[in-house]
Amino acid sequence: MNLALFLVCLLLMSINLIWMIFFTPMVPLQEWAQKIFYLHVPIAWSGFLAYFIVMLSGIMYLVKKDLKYDRIGYAAAEIGTIFTMLVLITGPIWATPIWGQPWVWEPRLVTTLVLFLIYVGYFILRNVGLYRQRVALICAIIGIIAFLDIPIIFASVNFWAAEIQSHPQLGMDKQPSGILNPFLFSLLSFTVLMFLMLSLKIAVLKKQDIEDRYV
């Protein structure tokens, strides 16, 4: 199963990169920097999807007290945090030619940074030496609460006055022709990549639990 998913993912990502680099239109004033869009937004989507899985797994753990849900949540949290870190890296690259600087303290950037920092704390907690079930319980609660920041991230550009926010809006109807199809393909490619990473990480965590005699 993992091999088949890996091969599918490899094919999709290869096509995605070729399409993005060679066959997507240049946007005036942004030039090559705009191509980060095909990475930045799909990575953000995949990271938030991973955090959604963390939230669902946390709820299931609170209900079932089954460590398999903790493994799923832990794996998804790690992947979501990697992707969120990439969002915070690719965003400034894309923003520099638009804003004239890599970072501005506007709502969507700040709320995304807050989400990343919450999960930094999540992983610190995972390594403080508490016994397994207690860590699983606390991390399930954190994962559920942390997910509340994601709707805030999406809505943040509407929460604050326009003069203090300048994050670009998606508005695909306003984008040049030739952008929508490669964008959707990139969304698919990164979603498949996220699920591949998730399945591999869950397998590693399950092996660790077996070695530590947890079920």
Output 177-183 pairs: Cβ under 8 A, ≥24 positions apart: 177/25, 178/24, 178/25, 179/24, 179/25, 179/37, 182/16, 182/19, 182/20, 182/23, 182/24, 182/38, 183/37, 183/38, 183/41, 183/42
Q: Count CB atoms within 10 A of the CB of residue 159.
A: 12
Q: Coil, helix or strand for 127?
A: coil
Where along the chain do its domains lie? 39-168+178-211
Phi, psi dihedrals of residue 30, rounded to the nearest 5° = -105, -35
Q: In this predicted structure, which of 9-18, 90-99, 131-140 has the lowest mean pLDDT?
A: 90-99
pLDDT for 169: 52
Query: What mean pLDDT is reported for the chain?
Result: 87
Q: Provide the whole-model pTM.
A: 0.89
CB-based contact 71:202 (threshold 8 Å): yes
Q: Coil, helix or strand for 31?
A: strand
Q: Count CB atoms within 10 A of the CB of residue 68.
A: 16
Residue-wise pLDDT tens digits, 131-178: 889 999 999 999 999 999 999 988 876 665 454 445 555 455 555 567
Write b or e for each residue in 35-63: b if 16 or more Cβ atoms lie within 10 A of its Cβ, otherwise e: bbbbbbbbbbbbbbbbbebbbbbbbbbee
H-helix or E-strand spanning residue 183: helix 180-211
d(CA 197, CA 24): 27
